[in-house]
Amino acid sequence: MAIALNKITKFLFFLLLNSLVFYSIQSLASPRNPDSLVLGLTLASTASFPTGPKASTSSRKIVSIDFSGEKKPLMEVRDGYLISLNIGTPPQVIQVRMDTGSDLTWVPCGNPSFDCMECDDYRNNKLITASFSPSYSSSSYRDSCASPFCIDIHSSDNPLDPCTVAGCSLSALVKATCSRPCPSFAYTYGAGGVVTGLLARDTLRVHGSSPGVTTEFPKFCFGCVGSSYREPVGIAGFGRGTLSLASQLGFLRKGFSHCFLAFKYANNPNISSSLVVGDIALTSKDEMHFTPLLNSPMYPNYYYIGLEAITVGNVRATEVPASLREFDSQGNGGMKIDSGIAYTHLPKPFYSQVLSILQSTINYPRDTGMEMKTGFDLCYKVPCPNNNTLADDLLPSITFHFLNNVSLVLPQGNHFYAMSAPSNSTVVKCLMFQSMDDGDDGPAGVFGSFQQQNVEVVYDLEKERIGFQPMDCASVASSQGLHKT
């Protein structure tokens, strides 16, 4: 999540997953509804998932969404979802990170003059992506100081402020005739990253469902960033604000849904997870149970739901803090649902209570060495009949109870995960939950993407609600033409 320098900073999400996971989203035909789009997310992993790293609130998977219409090699980037944006005339393909917790879309500008401070680790591993060159695009121009995007990026309560900073005369301000460009901006990220640049407009081309079909957005607004601090790759904001990529392209008018494949499909090029955008994402959902979206007065552009309880086997954790289902006067609280954060995070001491119930229920030996190595809090040496690491029936089920009597029993493989290959008919599995960092502002908890595997998640933004339904996502992929046979 990103915010302007004079806004409240978002809670941290940064660190590296040592095992890099990639998704490639490719447009597939959806001729039934011109206002909808079916996309495929192809899961590929360069190593066993997860391995080694100290777990963090910021753990992310690597995703690539291809809006360029061309098949590009996937880039190994530390954190985030990569999107290929096709910008300019002639088009330039720039890869950026997807961020559901921010609005601004920005790209590195001025190849090779884009300057990134403290990005040597990215440079050494050749992870810095290409830059956009405005001078090479005949359709590129600076955004106006009077535009709503400029007012938004500068977080101004007075719409005249940006044009005043730009040097417009009082007469031009009163008559609304000032045509000066939007002043430069600074944008910060929770991990301490900062980018500075200019707001630009240019043509964004999205290659749609059918081959050869392209939709053009001739005045797409984005940040043209010349300098950054610890932010080597551009970002595509997918929040609910007016600046976001999703908002400008109209993705949020109705809603969307996704169904993430289990990790056993990693490196399988023949099957993709389902991501549906538009009307058909919300059709035939009469049997689905929905929990209401909670609207934070301080963070209105993020997706929050309310958690009432967690059940481990038949034991329900009782001391659920009210902050997981409501906000305080500063807008902190609620449970954020975020596909950009890998693991579910819970506040202390509620997290400790869940751990205690699990420890009293599971009778297998702990592997403290693996806990020290990975940073996860509960790792067990679990019997592995027939070396089947996916069998979780030896471990207790975990059920999330959300507002409006919506309960989600996590599918097998969504709570504990095998950290290594079986040895002597035993495998080490660790709980894929973590505690919120002390002093975190923002959400009280996060429902991460790892817990959303083999679950259809429907964002009904028109009715302000989110639905959950356990699902065989491989079957869903096949029914939507995302499984090559």
Mean pLDDT for 114-133 is 75
- Read off the amino acid at residue 473: C
**Dihedral (Cα; 304, 307, 313, 314), 10-degree rounding:** -160
pLDDT classification of 212: cutoffs 50, 70, 90: low
Q: Which two tokens stand for residue 160?
A: 């005249």
Give the full edge-to-edge strand order of the sheet including 307-312: 315-316, 307-312, 398-402, 406-409
55 has pLDDT over 50? no
Confidence (pLDDT) at 147: 94
Residue 416: Cβ within 10 Å count: 27
Confidence (pLDDT) at 279: 80
Helix, strand or coil, per DSSP, at residue 475: helix
Q: Which two tokens stand for residue 101?
A: 């917790």
Is the model more confident about 367 or about 257?
Answer: 367
Q: Which two tokens stand for residue 433?
A: 């939950």
> Tokens 């023949």 appear where?
270
Do the domains spanning 36-47+76-143+182-275 and 288-453 agree at the CATH topology level? yes
285 and 467 Cβ atoms separated by less than 8 Å: yes
Is the model more confident about 458 or about 206?
Answer: 458
Distance (Å, rounded) from C-alpha 94 to C-alpha 91?
9
Tens of pLDDT, residue by residue over 150-165, are: 999 998 778 999 999 9
261 and 473 Cβ atoms separated by less than 8 Å: yes
124 has pLDDT over 50? yes
Confidence (pLDDT) at 337: 86
Confidence (pLDDT) at 461: 87
Confidence (pLDDT) at 232: 83
Confidence (pLDDT) at 321: 93
| Range with the largest mean pLDDT of 66-70, 358-362, 411-415, 449-453 | 358-362
Mean pLDDT for 216-244 is 88
Q: Which CATH code, of 3.40.50.300, 3.40.630.10, 3.40.50.1980, 2.40.70.10, is assigned to 36-47+76-143+182-275?
A: 2.40.70.10
Distance (Å, rounded) from C-alpha 434 to C-alpha 442?
16
Residue 170: Cβ within 10 Å count: 9
With b meaning 16 or more CB within 10 Å and e meaning fewer, what string describes 424-453? eebbbbbbbbbbbeeebbbbbbbbbbbbbb
Is the model more confident about 100 or about 465?
Answer: 465
Mean pLDDT for 207-221 is 72
Q: What is the DSSP secondary-structure string of 172-217?
A: HHHHT---PBPPPEEEEETTS-EEEEEEEEEEEEEE-SSTT-EEEE
Sign of the Cα pseudo-torsion (44, 50, 55, 57, in order):
positive
Confidence (pLDDT) at 191: 58
Confidence (pLDDT) at 278: 75
Distance (Å, rounded) from C-alpha 79 to C-alpha 462?
30
pLDDT classification of 148: cutoffs 50, 70, 90: very high
Confidence (pLDDT) at 74: 23
67 has pLDDT over 80? no
CATH class of 288-453: mainly beta
Distance (Å, rounded) from C-alpha 471 to C-alpha 341?
21
Tens of pLDDT, residue by residue over 382-440, are: 998 776 665 667 899 999 999 999 999 999 889 998 888 888 889 999 999 999 876 66
Q: Which two tokens stand for residue 245?
A: 């990529």
468 sits in which H/E element: strand 465-470
Confidence (pLDDT) at 50: 38
- Read off the amino acid at residue 358: L
7 has pLDDT over 50? no
Distance (Å, rounded) from C-alpha 236 to C-alpha 243?
10
Residue 193: Cβ within 10 Å count: 20
Confidence (pLDDT) at 444: 92
- Read off the amino acid at residue 458: V
Kindly give the pairing relationship between strand 106-108 and strand 214-229. parallel
Average pLDDT, the chain: 77
64 has pLDDT over 90? no
Confidence (pLDDT) at 28: 32
Residues 6 or more apart whose Cβ sits within 8 Å of residue 308: 320, 324, 325, 401, 402, 403
DSSP classification of residue 243: T
- Read off the amino acid at residue 231: E
Distance (Å, rounded) from C-alpha 415 to C-alpha 131?
39
Mean pLDDT for 331-343 is 84
DSSP classification of residue 7: S
Tens of pLDDT, residue by residue over 12-39, are: 232 223 333 333 333 333 333 446 655 4
Distance (Å, rounded) from C-alpha 205 to C-alpha 218?
8
Q: Which two tokens stand for residue 62?
A: 């690597």
With b meaning 16 or more CB within 10 Å and e meaning fewer, what string describes 198-233? bbbbbbbbbbbbeeeeeeebeebbbbbbbbbbbbbb
Confidence (pLDDT) at 398: 95
**Domain ranges in the chain?**
36-47+76-143+182-275, 288-453
Helix, strand or coil, per DSSP, at residue 224: strand
Q: Which two tokens stand for residue 316?
A: 């329900």
Mean pLDDT for 352-380 is 94
CA distances from 394 to 311, 353, 382 (A): 16, 21, 8
Confidence (pLDDT) at 272: 64
50 and 36 Cβ atoms separated by less than 8 Å: no
Question: What is the percent of the chain with per-residue pLDDT over 90, rounded to a whole number?
Answer: 39
Residue 68: Cβ within 10 Å count: 20
357 has pLDDT over 70? yes
Confidence (pLDDT) at 54: 35
| Range with the largest mean pLDDT of 92-106, 198-212, 301-315 | 301-315
370 sits in which H/E element: helix 368-374
283 has pLDDT over 70? yes
Confidence (pLDDT) at 31: 34
81 has pLDDT over 50? no
